[in-house]
Amino acid sequence: MAGIREQKKTETRKAITASAVQLFTEKGFEKTSIEDIAREAGIGKATVYTYFSTKDEIFLSFCDDELVESFARLQSPDRAGVKLLDQLLEFFMIKFTFITRDNEFGRQLLRDMVFPKVINEKTKEHDQRYFNILEDLFRSAQQRGELSDQEDLFLLSVHFFSLYLGVLAGWYTGYVSTLEEVEDALRGLFLQTLEGVAL
């Protein structure tokens, strides 16, 4: 019985996040209310608040789900021999195509990542999950001998994430306009970091 209840909770949570993202895309984040989300999901407004306190929490939850899914692809057994550069490119390109599938949605997500309205525990937890995934990729690369074991993995994660944000901003300002240009830009920046620029 407990298993059925948990399954129902999971389904309701997914219905809320899916409905919210659909509305964020159609109406924009600011113009979407909790009441709109409840109506779209076919549940009561109070039920939404049982799972999430704010729209921002719904937004972060959806991003977390996408994050877990993209990391699972990288961790599949058939990916064991893939080089660090290719893993990083695949991870960030998955994130890029997800974020930019809709311009308004992508802009909102970029704003939320760089300039969140409120810094709370949920936001910090989301950011930490992101960095944990990158740190795991770097740790595996160290074990394979691809990366120095003297590197600070957290700082390295922040660095690569910052490079990614720069390219993402470039997409919205017109400096890169195709997925091929995005991947080329990321590859160049990542290689420059991994190989170093000092003589």
> What amino acid occupies position 97?
T
CATH of 1-52, one of 3.40.50.800, 1.10.10.60, 1.20.120.160, 3.90.1150.10: 1.10.10.60
pLDDT in tens, 144-156: 899 998 889 999 9
Average pLDDT of the segment spanning 33-39: 94
> Is 90 exceeded by the pLDDT of residue 16?
yes
pLDDT band of 5, cuts 50, 70, 90: confident
Domain with CATH 1.10.357.10 in the chain: 55-195
DSSP strand E in the chain: where? none
Domain with CATH 1.10.10.60 in the chain: 1-52
For all residues of the chain together, what is the average pLDDT? 85
pLDDT at residue 127 in the model: 76
137: left (phi over 0), alpha (psi -120 to 50) or beta: alpha
**Strand, coil or helix: what is 170?**
helix
pLDDT at 123 over 80: no
**Most confidently modeled of 66-70, 134-138, 157-161, 182-186?**
182-186
Which of 51, 53, 69 has its CA nearest to residue 14? 51
CATH superfamily of 55-195: Tetracycline Repressor, domain 2 (1.10.357.10)
More confident residue, 114 or 168: 168
